[in-house]
Amino acid sequence: MKDAPAREIVRLAWPVLIAQLALIGNSVIDTAMAGRLTPVDLASVGIGASILVTVLMSLLSVLFALPPMIAHLYGANRSGEIGHELQQSLWISLFIAIAAIVLLEHPAPFIAVSDLQPEVEAKVRAYLAASAWEVPPTIALRLFFGLSTGIGHPRPVMVTNLAALLMKVPLNYVFMFGLAGMPRLSGPGCAVATAIDAWLVALVAWHWCLNHAGFEVFGLKSRIGKPDWKAILAFLKLGIPIGLTFAADVTAFTFMALFIARLGPVVSSAHQIAANLAAIAFMFPLSIGNATSVLSGQALGAGAPERARRIAWRGIGIGMGVAIAISLTLWSCAPLIAALYTSHNEVQKIAIPLIVLVGFYHLADALQAVAVNALRGYKKSGVPMLIYTVSLWGLGIGGGILLGLTDAFGSALGAPGFWIAAIASLWVVAILVSLYLDWVSRHWMRR
> Is the four-CA dihedral 280, 177, 258, 57 of positive or negative sign?
negative
**How many Å apart are CA 284 and CA 278, to the nearest integer?**
11
More confident residue, 80 or 401: 401
Contact 161, 19 (CB under 8 A): yes
How is 111-133 classified by DSSP, letter by letter? HHHHT--HHHHHHHHHHHHHHGG
CB-count burial class (<10 Å; 0-12, 13-18, 19+) for 185: buried
pLDDT, tens digit (0-9, with 9 covering 90-100), for 178-191: 776 677 778 788 89
pLDDT, tens digit (0-9, with 9 covering 90-100), for 212-259: 888 888 877 777 778 888 888 988 988 888 888 877 877 787 788 878
pLDDT, tens digit (0-9, with 9 covering 90-100), for 137-162: 999 998 988 888 888 788 888 898 89
**How many Å apart are CA 162 and CA 400, to the nearest integer?**
36
Contact 324, 363 (CB under 8 A): yes
pLDDT mean over 362-382: 93
**How many Å apart are CA 447 and CA 443, to the nearest integer?**
7
pLDDT mean over 197-215: 89
Share of residues in the chain with pLDDT > 90 (%): 37
pLDDT, tens digit (0-9, with 9 covering 90-100), for 72-118: 888 888 878 888 888 888 899 999 999 999 999 998 888 887 677 78
Contact 244, 392 (CB under 8 A): no
pLDDT computed for residue 111 by the predictor: 81
pLDDT computed for residue 176 by the predictor: 85
- Cα-based distances in Å from 315 to 214, 282, 319, 323, 348: 29, 15, 6, 12, 35
Predicted structure pTM score = 0.78
Confidence of residue 288 (pLDDT cuts 50, 70, 90): very high
Examine the pLDDT at 2 and tell me if it is beyond 80: no
How far is residue 133 CA from its own chain's centroid? 19
Examine the pLDDT at 380 and tell me if it is beyond 80: yes
Mean of the per-residue pLDDT values for the chain? 87
pLDDT computed for residue 180 by the predictor: 63
pLDDT mean over 367-380: 93
More confident residue, 411 or 336: 336
Ramachandran region of residue 182, left (φ > 0), alpha (ψ -120 to 50) or beta?
beta
Confidence of residue 419 (pLDDT cuts 50, 70, 90): very high
Examine the pLDDT at 169 and tell me if it is beyond 80: yes
Helix 135-150 and helix 155-172, axial crossing angle in degrees, nearest 10? 150
**How many Å apart are CA 313 and CA 118, to the nearest integer?**
50
pLDDT computed for residue 114 by the predictor: 67
Choose the weakest-confidence range: 60-64, 78-82, 197-201, 375-379: 78-82
pLDDT mean over 398-423: 89
Contact 116, 124 (CB under 8 A): yes
SS3 226: coil
Contact 351, 270 (CB under 8 A): yes
Contacts of 187 (CB under 8 A, 6+ apart): 34, 37, 40, 41, 42, 44, 45, 48, 123, 127, 176
Comparing C-alpha atoms, which of 4, 9, 88, 42 is closest to residue 289? Answer: 9
Give Dmax over CA atoms of the chain in angstroms. Answer: 68
pLDDT computed for residue 1 by the predictor: 39
**What's the length of the chain?**
447
Examine the pLDDT at 4 and tell me if it is beyond 70: no
pLDDT, tens digit (0-9, with 9 covering 90-100), for 297-342: 889 988 899 999 999 999 999 999 999 999 999 999 999 999 988 7
pLDDT mean over 362-387: 93
**How many Å apart are CA 311 and CA 317, to the nearest integer?**
10
- Cα-based distances in Å from 240 to 10, 16, 245, 269, 382: 29, 23, 8, 33, 9
Examine the pLDDT at 46 and tell me if it is beyond 90: no
User: Beta-carbon neighbour count of residue 446 at 10 Å?
Assistant: 6
